[in-house]
Amino acid sequence: MLFYKLNGMLDGYSFSQDDLHLRHQAAREFQGNQALFFKKLQEKYIFTICEIKSGRIILAAVSRESYNILARCGEFLKDVDVSVWV
């Protein structure tokens, strides 16, 4: 198993510490999409959004095989409709 921590800058998302309700709502939406993406990739990769705050995103990923994890991360973010700066 390979474990990854990915940091990025978001394009269009910004949750402050005070937006706790909005952050919880977004987390619930992402959770369903994460499960769908896991199934789509035949359970070989799992991504989870650890934190979205102040225009930044932190993701965790676990992979069963060596592959360009940034490419899979890009697919995941596209599937969950999160835009990032490249």
**26-69 pLDDT per residue, tens:** 777 777 788 888 888 888 888 888 887 777 888 899 988 877 88
pTM exceeding 0.75:
no
* Structural domain contains residue 84: no
Residue 64: inside a domain: yes
Q: 57 in a domain, yes or no? A: yes
Distances from the Cα of 3 to the Cα of 55, 61, 69, 77, angstroms? 24, 6, 10, 18
Please indicate, yes or no, if residue 86 is contained in any of the structural domains: no
How many domains does the chain contain in total?
Answer: 1
Does a structural domain hold residue 13? yes
pLDDT value of residue 13: 61
Best CA proximity match to 75, nearest among 47, 51, 53, 56: 47
On whether residue 71 sits in a domain, the answer given is yes
SS3 71: helix
Asked, for residue 69, whether it belongs to a domain, the answer is: yes
- The token duo for 86 is 């490249």
**Residue-range definition of the domain harbouring residue 73:** 2-79
